């Protein structure tokens, strides 16, 4: 068995990790932390976790020694915890944004904070298995991608890597309220968010930085770099608990593909061996991914405007966070990526 700790278990991602890891045949959670609930038994704080696996567990203030750790702290605080864990020889999957960007100055620009451990940016691996599988396997620190970024990247990587699209990209993202975390805010209060849809971060959402970083990296072998990639990303809050739907628009390179059938064939080829990415034959619904680690992608061509449209859909707490983290941890531990992850979603 591989021993596992979860740092900040009281976050939504920490709780989702507990739910998923209860079924994992090789990972055993032996340490859980949360300063706000330190000293309390897990099922006192979360009665829904009365499963025999977790009932005796007590929430600690600091993590015990384990083989692997999932860090679910906010940015900046996460980096400090990651440094301590790595010094102890623990492999880490960090679910914060602290190690997603390769440039410390870019991190400071977007997160308004001096990076606590800039030297680690050189060795941290961006945890998108569909792109960095080999690098993840040999890493000590994996930076789990953001939820919006995962949906956008999986939707657009084939288009840019295979030269299907142009340089101008628009991403319209919609997310459930759990994406904002458990901390109470006016905007996520039931009476404010219910029966309402709103756009936010119009001047630049933080996930845009990692989306840009990874799409620009994908251009090698795809589009010529004769002009910069231009990305507009607008996120929206939708009154549902889970789910992300990203609708992506880009000009179509008709020399590479001109019909929906051709685009779908190229996408199917790109993701032919990916266990958690499916090319679907109709626009996906967020409910289709509820509780699963799958990303559903529907690419098509708007023949009237010669524009590529790609709709990608996932559960923000699973493929967008905890499930993807386990996928990365499986890869770190030499296990099949699908180990312990539910093969189907919950419906209705």
Q: Which residues are catalytic?
A: 147
Adjacent-strand bridge partners of 5: 31, 69
The number of helix segments (H) and strand segments (E) in the chain equals 10, 13
- Which residues have CB under 8 Å from 128's CB, separation 6+? 145, 150, 153, 154, 214
For residues 143 and 127, is the Cβ–Cβ distance under 8 A? yes
CA proximity to 181, closest of 326, 36, 8, 348? 8
CB crowding 57-66: b at 16 or more within 10 Å, else e: bebbeebeeb
CA proximity to 123, closest of 161, 67, 81, 82? 82
Q: What secondary structure does DSSP assign to 265-305, as a single string? A: HHHHHHTTT-TTEEE-SS---GGGGTTSS-EEEEEEEETTT
Kindly compute the dihedral angle of the four CA atoms of residues 162, 165, 171, 173, in this order, to the nearest 10 degrees. -50
DSSP 195: T
Please provide the size of the chain in residues.
348
Structure tokens at 132: 């960095």
Q: What beta strand segments (E) does the chain contain? A: 2-7, 27-33, 68-71, 91-94, 125-126, 141-143, 165-175, 198-199, 230-237, 244-252, 277-279, 295-302, 307-314
């Amino acid at each position: 068995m591989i021993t596992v700790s979860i740092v900040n278990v009281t976050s939504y991602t920490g709780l989702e990790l507990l739910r998923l890891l209860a079924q994992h045949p090789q990972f055993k959670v032996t340490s859980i932390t949360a300063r706000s609930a330190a000293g309390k038994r897990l099922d006192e704080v979360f009665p829904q976790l009365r499963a025999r696996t977790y009932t005796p567990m007590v929430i600690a203030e600091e993590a015990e020694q384990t083989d692997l750790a999932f860090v679910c702290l906010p940015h900046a605080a996460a980096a400090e915890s990651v440094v301590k864990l790595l010094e102890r020889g623990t492999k880490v999957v960090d679910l914060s944004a602290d190690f997603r960007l390769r440039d410390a100055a870019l991190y400071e620009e977007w997160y308004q904070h001096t990076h606590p451990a800039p030297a680690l940016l050189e060795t941290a691996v961006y945890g998108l298995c569909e792109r960095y599988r080999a690098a993840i396997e040999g890493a000590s620190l994996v930076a789990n991608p953001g939820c919006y970024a995962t949906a956008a990247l999986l939707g657009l990587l084939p288009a840019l890597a295979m030269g299907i699209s142009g340089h101008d990209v628009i991403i319209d993202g919609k997310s459930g309220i759990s994406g904002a975390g458990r901390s109470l805010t006016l905007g996520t209060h039931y009476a404010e968010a219910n029966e309402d849809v709103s756009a936010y971060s119009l001047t630049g959402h933080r996930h845009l930085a990692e989306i840009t970083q990874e799409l620009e990296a994908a251009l090698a072998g795809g589009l010529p770099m004769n002009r910069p990639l231009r990305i507009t990303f607008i996120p929206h809050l939708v009154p549902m608990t889970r789910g992300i739907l990203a609708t992506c628009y880009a000009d179509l390179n008709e020399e590479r593909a001109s019909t929906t059938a051709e685009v779908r064939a190229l996408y199917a080829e790109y993701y032919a061996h990916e266990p958690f990415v499916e090319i679907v034959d109709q626009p996906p619904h967020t409910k289709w991914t509820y509780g699963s680690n799958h990303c559903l992608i529907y690419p098509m061509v708007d023949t009237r405007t010669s524009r590529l449209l790609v709709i990608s859909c996932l559960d923000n707490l699973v493929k967008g966070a905890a499930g993807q983290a386990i996928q990365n941890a499986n890869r770190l531990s030499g296990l099949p990526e699908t180990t312990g992850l539910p093969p189907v979603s919950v419906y209705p």
